[in-house]
Amino acid sequence: MPYLSWLEGNQLVRHAVQGACLVGRDPMSCAVAQPGLATLSRTHAAIDQVGSIWWVRDLDSPNGTFLNGQPLPHPEGSALQDGDELVLGGWTLTFTDGFPGLDSSLYAERVGDIFHEVRPEPAQALVLIRGIELLHKSTETLLRQTDSDVMVKGLLEESLRLLGGDRGFLVMRQGEVGWRTAHRVGDVQEGVGLSRSVLDYVTREHTAVLSNRPFMDPRFGGLSLVELHRGSLLCAPMEDEGEIQGVLYLDRESEGRPFTRFDLAIFQAFVRQGSMALRLSMLNRRALGQAEQQGELLRLRNEREREMDRHGHLLSALAVPFRRIQSWAEDLGDGEAIRAQLEQLGSLLEAGVRGESPGELTLSAHPVHTQLLQEDFLRRWDSLLRLKKSRMCVDEAPAASVWVPGGPFMAALVGLVELLLVQLKPEARVFLRWDQERGFRVLRLNLPPGLNAPQPDPWTLHVLEDAGVKWRWADQSLDLLLPEGPDTMPEEPARPLLGLVSEDFNLFGLFSTVAEAGDLLLETLESEPPTAAMPKFRFLVIDAKGTPSLEDCIRAYRHHPSFITTPILVVRCTEDDTSRIIEAGATDWLADGFRWEALHHRLQVLRGHTELQQRALAAERLESFRQMAGTLKHEINNPLAIISMQVEMLQRKYPEEVKLGKIAEMVDRIRALVQVLQKMRETPTEDYADGSSILKLG
């Protein structure tokens, strides 16, 4: 960060130039002002940043503005460099890239590399050689570590050995304003031996610092640093692509052991190399994690292939005795039913050898007329009934439809009934009738006495449950409750969805870990949402660096019917982008360099945010409900009053009429319910066995 400094008597005054500012006499208009100087114009000059260059312009002041003794070109101005001297109406200021006025023997920052910091004396050559040797050994030791957690510890311990430090710590960023101690050596505690002022200065200025008098150092607040000791300290930021991830600090407790600029140059070089090594180690760890996942997928795929081979061998072995049974059945005189069953078994066996699933409906859920479904059932059961010498008495199917899902639904349903049909005795009769219950058509089979209740296998139970089919056995009757429409069907048993919009493959491994930790199903999406309807997503994450047009992408998903209320988290964005992405429809954001734990925690917070939104909507609906109840009260009470008076008159005329008393009771109940509706402050519900619920009014 650049500074402007000037002398007021013997006191050096410093001003940090954090953005465009004016210099002049008026303190209300100028960030840098000298009100008592009459030769200074009200707004004398302007300082601004053009790209990475700081620029100064004269604002038509009568006395002009001089840079290093030369008048500024008018009107374009001139670029500023470290150490430039500005004169404005007799007021002299110095422009510096770093903190001005530091005693070079006590304090240092913004040093060059180790070659620039060595003086040309012969004795300094030995210092340089020794420094390079130590730096090489420490860096080599650090690079031998492959685990990033071990490397974090090695980074601090090697820096202490390299520079002869007594204590040290390595802190990592946690959020925007927090710090977390990753490793410490020596008697170092948070709040003792380090200062938040030092951390803030190093991260704000993006520079390594040296201080041999921490208590007197003007950069860190001077005497306010009660938590600092009286020795010497070095502190350097750990940067990754311009973003500070952490800070490395070390100190010497004794006042008689100061650090030098050359020490700071070595420390700065070591921290830079260590930061790069740590970044590579973390990337390697992520790559290894993805490789492990790929390896696990490959293992599971190979295991599945071996399992399919075993099934194929088993089915091929079964084919031999099955063909013999078929040949014997051909000689049976009255074996039509057996041959039909064997034919069906043969097709199943052949499909199993080919790895197919025969007999399954390939269509999705769809309505089927009850007459067609009944004919299908009778065709499937006919051969078994004839084999048992029994018959089924069938009523006419109603003019209605039921909702039939795809997959092995029919096979499971027929198999459930056949568990009873195989128990039939000769000349037995089975009665098939249709009935109706709320949301279901009931196919009822009345069977002769003496049959045991069906005990279907787990696969059949699972298929019927997924299909929304209920069944019950009572009084020698099997009731099959078939849903009339999709509203009665259960929701598909699937994990909540986590959507990811990114073109960066490296993020997929990280988000797979987060999805597994949150029991979510990761779904990759394109920058443009699909036009077709989609299932509801619990979260949507958009990568700012992996999306061509971030704001357009957010708006497109926010206006999509499936994502109107879905929390949208934008990752790897900058603070400058936050206002625009929130305005576009994003719910929250994370800067680059986040850890998966932080992402997992942020998603949990967003889940709580969604629940709060749902509560707010429920409260809004309840308020509308109460207003509607107030209107209903006035609209209903008038006819109720008339009915009540008429009933009272009729009761006087016909005191023996019981129906009039019942009418009066119903009028009172209606009036009481309207009062309850208007006074409701919450929405209690009463659940029913079929999964439905209604408002509980009393």
> Is the domain of 590 the same as that of 638?
no
> What would the mean pLDDT of 498-522 be, rounded to a whole number?
76
Catalogue the E-assigned strands of 424-576.
429-437, 440-446, 470-474, 477-483, 497-501, 521-525, 539-543, 568-571
Residues 457 and 366 in one domain: yes
Residue 231 in this model has a pLDDT that exceeds 50: yes
Do 655 and 618 lie in one domain? The reply is: yes
Residues in a beta bridge with 179: 173
- Examine the domain organization and report whether 546 and 644 are in the same domain: no
Domain boundary among 69, 96, 123: 96
Round to whole Å and give the CA distance between 524 and 256. 61
Distances in whole angstroms, Cα of residue 36 to Cα of each of 95, 107, 224, 316: 22, 33, 31, 104
pLDDT of 386 strictly over 70 = yes
The domain boundary, picked from 234, 266, 286, lies at 286
CA 56 from chain center: how many Å? 46
Q: What pLDDT shows up at residue 549?
A: 87
Residue 355 lies in a domain: no
Most confidently modeled of 222-231, 400-409, 571-580, 598-607? 571-580
What tens digit of pLDDT does each residue of 132-181 get?
A: 666 666 666 666 665 656 677 777 888 888 888 888 888 887 665 567 77
One domain for residues 244 and 120: yes
Q: Tell me, yes or no, whether 318 lies in a domain.
A: no
Same domain, 209 and 281: yes
In the numeric block, which tokens belong to residue 28? 């209300």
Domain of 404, CATH number, reads 3.30.565.10
Give the whole-angstrom CA distance, residue 44 versus residue 4: 15
Angle, alpha carbons 239-245-246 (nearest 5°): 95
CATH number of residue 526's parent domain: 3.40.50.2300
pLDDT of residue 286: 60
Does 336 map to a domain? Answer: no
Range from 3-17, 234-248, 636-650 carrying the lowest mean pLDDT: 636-650
Cα–Cα distance list, 493 to 273, 467, 490, 536 (Å)? 51, 11, 8, 13
pLDDT tens-digit map of 427-453: 899 999 999 988 889 999 999 998 988
Burial class (CB within 10 angstroms; exposed 0-12, middle 13-18, buried 19+) of 544? buried
For 617-659, the DSSP string reads HHHHHHHHHHHHHHHHHHHHHHHHHHHHHHHHHHHHH-TT-HH
The answer to whether position 543 is within a domain reads yes
Residue 41 is assigned to a structural domain of this protein:
yes
CA 389-392-398 angle, to 5 degrees, is: 165
Predicted pLDDT of residue 203: 86
Report the range of poorest mean pLDDT among 365-379, 384-398, 489-503, 670-684: 670-684
Flag the least confident range among 109-113, 311-315, 397-401. 311-315
Q: Which is more confidently placed, 12 or 221?
A: 12
Q: Which long-range CB contacts under 8 A does 301-309 form with residues at least 24 apart? A: 308/355
Shared domain for 375 and 437, answered yes or no, is yes
Average confidence score pLDDT of the chain: 75
**DSSP H or E stretch at residue 459:** helix 458-466
Cα separation, 498 vs 478, whole angstroms: 42
Q: Are residue 188 and residue 263 in the same domain, yes or no?
A: yes
Question: Where residue 132 sits, what CATH number does that domain have?
Answer: 3.30.450.40
Q: Residue 314: pLDDT band by 50, 70, 90 thresholds?
A: low
What's the mean pLDDT in 209-237? 75
In a domain, residue 310? The reply is no
CA atoms within 13 Å, Cβ hemisphere of 469: 26
* Beta strand pairing call for 568-571 and 539-543: parallel
At 490, is the pLDDT very low, low, confident or very high (cuts 50, 70, 90)?
A: very low
CB 246 within 8 A of CB 172: yes
| Same structural domain, 368 and 457 | yes
Do both 537 and 618 map to the same domain?
Answer: no
Cβ pair 277, 245 in contact under 8 A = no
Confidence of residue 694 (pLDDT cuts 50, 70, 90): very low
Q: How far apart are the first and last CA of the chain?
A: 70
Q: Which helix (H) or strand (E) holds 7?
A: strand 3-8
Domain boundary at 465, 488, 511, which? 488
Q: At what angle do helices 409-421 and 458-466 cross, to 10 degrees?
A: 130
Kindly provide the b/e burial profile for residues 487-517, where b requires at least 16 CB atoms within 10 angstroms of the residue's own CB. ebbeeeeeeebbbbbbeeeebebbbbbbbee
Give the domain range for residue 647: 613-695
Task: Decide which of 178 and 21 is more confident.
Answer: 21
Is residue 23 packed enough to be buried (19+ CB in 10 Å), middle (13-18) or exposed (0-12)? Answer: buried
* Residue 691 reports pLDDT greater than 60: no
Residues 477 and 529 in one domain: no
pTM over 0.75, yes/no = no
Tokens of 484: 């009339």
Burial of 13 (0-12, 13-18, 19+ CB in 10 A): middle
Under the banding of pLDDT at 50, 70 and 90, the label for residue 47 is: very high
Residue 595: other Cβ atoms inside 10 A: 13
176 in any annotated domain: yes
Looking at the structure, do residues 466 and 583 belong to the same domain, yes or no?
Answer: no
pLDDT confidence tier of residue 632, bands split at 50, 70 and 90: low
Residue-level pLDDT at 537:
84
Specify the DSSP element, H or E, that contains 102.
none
- DSSP structural state of residue 220: G
Give yes or no for residue 188 having a pLDDT over 80. no
> Does the structure show a pLDDT above 80 at 323?
no
Residue 502 lies in a domain: yes
d(CA 360, CA 480): 20
Structure tokens at 631: 């209107």
CATH of the domain at 69: 2.60.200.20
**Interatomic CA distance for residues 592 and 361, integer angstroms:** 48
CA 152, CA 169: separation in Å to the nearest integer?
10
The pLDDT, as a whole number, for residue 244 is 83
Q: What is the tally of structural domains in the chain?
A: 5
Tens-place pLDDT, residues 79-94: 999 999 999 988 999 9
CA distances from residue 215 to 114, 132, 198 in whole angstroms, order as listed: 27, 31, 12
